[in-house]
Structure 1
């Protein structure tokens, strides 16, 4: 067993909006992702959506109002709430979600998550 270095894991890829699995616990995936620009509007009917900003800034747009996040800040989008993450500049995030959760809320349009 060894510690997971999130900065090291983030240095292994450059793609945006393509989460990488770095660990798991209790049926949940721990993921890192680089984001830039606007993602798609989506929701997750079965689970909340956890975002922790490691570097940079993001806005989580929601119909009820936006949430701005900076380094060290987190936000949980409640299940079923439509949202759209946006990053003007590249940002790095830690995500925690049940294993197999599609990043777009729809398995037909979701990326395949790689383990690194």
Structure 2
């Protein structure tokens, strides 16, 4: 069994925005943390759900059918296939749980898109 530092501390130590880092594995999923601010961009994950858990701050998840605003300690699962756009008006720390097959920004490539190799870099 491997023990890791507190996810919030790891996220706080990140210097790049919208650049998730993998801090653990759970069966066929990765546990990731990220520091975010601004807008990531509209995208979807055709075959995977995506769990957002707020470690610090506030995150807005814009979707066609609704917009969900999450605060520290809250979580939301974006169902597979749902177009979404994460937005943080101020710096926000998040924890994500995603299948290992999940592409960072789905089939959309932006300046924020990170490869799996980039996400696996040490913190």
> What TM-score, normalized to structure 2?
0.86
CA RMSD of aligned residues (A): 1.6
User: Per the alignment, do residues 58 and 22 of structure 1 end up closer, same or farther by CA in structure 2, a change over 3 Å counting?
Assistant: same
Displaced runs of 4+ in structure 1, greater than 3 A?
107-110
Paired residue for 1:114, among 106, 109, 120?
120
> In the comparison of the two structures, how many residue pairs are matched?
116
1:48/1:77 contact within 8 Å kept: yes
* Uncovered stretches (5+) of structure 2, i.e. residues with no partner: none
**Helix, strand or coil: the match of 2:13?**
coil
Structure 2 CA distance for aligned equivalents of residues 115 and 94 of structure 1: 16
1:22/1:115 contact within 8 Å kept: no
User: Per the alignment, do residues 80 and 68 of structure 1 end up closer, same or farther by CA in structure 2, a change over 3 Å counting?
Assistant: same
Pair 1:61-2:62 in alignment:
yes
Aligned to 2:36: 35
Aligned to 1:77: 78
Structure 1 CA distance for aligned equivalents of residues 120 and 76 of structure 2: 24
* Uncovered stretches (5+) of structure 1, i.e. residues with no partner: none
